[in-house]
Chain A
Amino acid sequence: MARFGMVIDTRRCVGCMDCVVACATENDVPDGYCRDWIVEETRGRYPTLAMEIRSERCNHCDNPPCVHCCPTGASHVEDFGTTVQVDPELCIGCKACLASCPYDARFIHPQGYADKCTFCVHRVKDGKDPACVAVCPTHCMHFGDLDDPNSEVSRLIASRPNHSLLPEAGTRPRIFYLT
């Protein structure tokens, strides 16, 4: 069984937000909401400042607190790619999953259910990349099976310094940022 993940090269990302627009268009994300977003992090002391630009979204964690706390099973790990998904027909809109996510990656869709990045599984099932990955003009985003040592994402993780977000939260996120 595949274990989908994403690798994002922060040395290539320019924060153009094409991924954000592509996601909103592909997934019909309502106005005023976003499933992915751009973060600019600046560290250091002038003049030795370092900036990292990241495209962030749900990390489809291996240990997903949103799934553990869901009272109805609406938030679940899907067999296909072991991604974290939400079934709107089961969601009661209790918002426990929003509060349980250390990345604040979820929101309440105007129709009342919890919503978030799906890794565009509907596209992936057709053999395509997620919309954000497909449109990236700098090709900084890579998608694939983390359990396959020969996949592009596995090779990038093995060959380049990288970090994930808040590993100390214990969620074992599946998006890795190359530095």
Chain B
Amino acid sequence: MFELTTTRHNPMVDPAMHVWGWEIPVYLFLGGLVAGILVICAWLLVTDRFRTRDSIYPALPVAALVLLSAGMGALFLDLEHKLYVWRLYTTFEPSSPMSWGAWILVLVYPLLALGVALRPPVWLARRWPALAGWGAAVTERPKLLRAVGWTNMFLGALLGVYTGVLLSALGARPLWNSALLGPLFLLSGLSSAAALIHVATRNAEERVLLARADNAFLSGELAVILLFVVGLASAAEAHLGAAGLLLGGPYTAIFWVLVVGAGIAIPLVIQMLAVSHRIPHTPVAPLLVLAGGLLLRFVFVHAGQVSHWPFV
């Protein structure tokens, strides 16, 4: 037998760690979504598609600013010492992914603002006519425009990977302690962004291209999830325990049925049929992808906190 009794009784720590509620999964989802939007903006800028008359582009940086601010709001709500939040910006801690994230966000905001100026939405251009003039200083210089596009791509990828690395750097939680979490959350963010644009765009060409891209992202996500689970299930005792949470444990049904099944596999099949013209495009698939992306973060954040090293 092995029996452990403890007198420890700290709130949020005992009987199982539960320091992060709904705020962090929402923040990670919205951060990933914005990362995906940045990458798709980069593609639209570099290929010059952002100039197309009915392109979704003018709405994207504005939407990203709103979504990112909502995510930051969720993160702020999670902080326990809220009045000290400014301390994040009095230092840079290179070993802390959260510090990296805080500074990445400082770079993302002005980049999104520049993205708005490159082709502002009609309502904003009417209200603030000078904005388009500022944007023209970039759009009329192809090399500069491409540089802005590639910066979008780089920061988008960095932001997307960061949302996973934030968790994977916490080695005390075996479920999170995998280098695959960064790529997984990046792919999920890309897939969520492609799905959002798939639903929102009025440009048929963009819709088809993004559905195809989403299929690639979803396939990649499935592959990374498979590798992630195989990696956990073939590692040390602590990781085997973490794998058990998803393979027979309390998070099994929600993970495999709702996240992998309804959030990735089913929309992938629907969209593969749509891009091969067997069925018409439907908003059902992208909406499932968005819900699946959000649920993926909830499952990982909650199950990860439950996972622990043995016998402590």
Instruction: Give the B-binding residues of A (Cβ under 8 A).
Output: 17, 20, 32-34, 37-46, 49, 56, 65, 68-74, 88-96, 98-104, 106-108, 111-113, 165-166, 168-170
Q: Could you tell me which residues of chain B, from 1 to 32, have a CB within 8 Å of some CB in chain A? A: 1-14, 17, 19-20
Known: A71-B101, A103-B312, A106-B13. 7 other contacts (CB 8 A): A20-B7, A41-B4, A68-B96, A93-B79, A102-B171, A104-B312, A112-B79
Docked pose: A151 CA to B84 CA in angstroms = 41
Instruction: Report which residue of B102, B170, B172, B173 has the largest number of chain A beta carbons within 10 angstroms of its beta carbon.
Output: B172
Which 10 A-B pairs give the minimum distances between C-beta atoms?
A93-B80, A93-B81, A112-B81, A37-B8, A71-B98, A107-B10, A102-B172, A71-B99, A95-B19, A112-B80
- Least CB distance, B145 to chain A, in whole angstroms: 34
Return chain A residues, CB-CB under 8 Å to B85: 92
> In the bound complex, do residue B93 and residue A70 qualify as a contact, i.e. CB atoms below 8 Å apart?
yes
In the bound complex, what is the Cα–Cα distance between A20 and B95 (angstroms)? 33
Residues of B within 8 A of A106 (CB): 13
Q: Which B residue's beta carbon lies closest to that of A17? A: B7
B169 an interface residue at 8 Å Cβ cutoff? yes
Q: Is the pair B6, A39 in contact by a Cβ cutoff of 8 Å?
A: yes
| Chain B residues within 8 Å of A166, by CB | 309, 311-312
Give complex CA distance A32, B308 in Å: 23
Q: Does B206 contact A (CB under 8 A)?
A: no
Q: How far apart are the CA atoms of A98 and B13 in the complex, in Å?
A: 8
In angstroms, Cα B81 to Cα A88, docked, is 9
State in angstroms the CA–CA spacing of A112 and B19 once bound together: 12
Cross-interface CB contact of B11 among A17, A33, A44, A88, cutoff 8 Å: A33
For window 199-235 of B, CB contacts with A under 8 Å fall at none
Q: Is the CB of B11 within 8 A of A71?
A: no
Question: Contacts A99-B20, A102-B171: A72 and B78 contacting too (C-beta < 8 A)?
Answer: no
| CB-based contact A94/B172 at 8 Å | no
Chain B residues near A108 (CB, 8 Å)? 11-12, 19, 80
Does B90 sit at the interface, judged by CB under 8 A?
A: yes
Main secondary structure of the interface of B (DSSP, over half): loop
Q: Is the CB of B19 within 8 A of A99?
A: yes
Which residues of B69-91 are within 8 A (CB) of A? 78-82, 84-85, 87-88, 90-91
CB neighbours of B261 from chain A (8 A):
none
A71 touches B2 (CB 8 A): no
B305 at interface by CB-CB < 8 Å: yes
Q: Are A45 and B7 in contact (CB under 8 A)?
A: no
Question: Contacts A72-B88, A104-B13 given: A99-B82 contact, CB under 8 Å?
Answer: no
Complexed CA–CA distance, A17 and B13 (Å): 20
Least distance between A54 CB and chain B CB atoms (Å): 9
| Listed A/B pairs (12) with beta-carbon separation below 8 Å | A37-B7, A40-B5, A42-B2, A90-B87, A93-B79, A93-B82, A99-B305, A107-B10, A107-B13, A112-B79, A168-B236, A169-B309
Which of B11, B93, B101 contacts A72 (CB under 8 A)? B93
User: Is B169 within 8 A of A92, CB to CB?
Assistant: no
Task: List chain A residues, Cβ under 8 A from B172.
Answer: 65, 99-102, 169
Q: How far is the CA of A73 from the CA of B6 in the complex (A)?
A: 31
Which residues of B have CB within 8 Å of A101? 172
Partner of A68, one of B13, B84, B95: B95
Pair B309/A102 contact, Cβ less than 8 Å? yes
Q: Which residues of A contact B4 (CB under 8 A)?
A: 39-42
- CB pair A104–B19 under 8 Å, yes or no, is no
Minimum CB–CB distance from A22 to chain B (whole Å) comes to: 14
Known A-B contacts A71-B96, A166-B309; the reply to A34 vs B9 at CB < 8 A is yes
Report the minimum CB–CB distance from A68 to chain B (whole Å).
4
The answer, yes or no, to whether B135 is at the interface (CB within 8 Å) is: no
Report if B121 contacts A (CB, 8 A).
Answer: no
A102 touches B20 (CB 8 A): no
Instruction: Report chain B residues within 8 Å CB of A69.
Output: 95-98, 169-170
**Given A34-B10, A169-B172; A72-B87 close (CB under 8 Å):** yes
Tell me the minimal C-beta distance from B23 to chain A in angstroms: 11
Q: Which residue of A lies closest to B102 (CB)?
A: A71
Partner of A94 from the list B5, B90, B98 (CB cut-off 8 Å) is: B98
Asked if A44 and B1 make an inter-chain contact with CB atoms under 8 angstroms apart, the answer reads yes
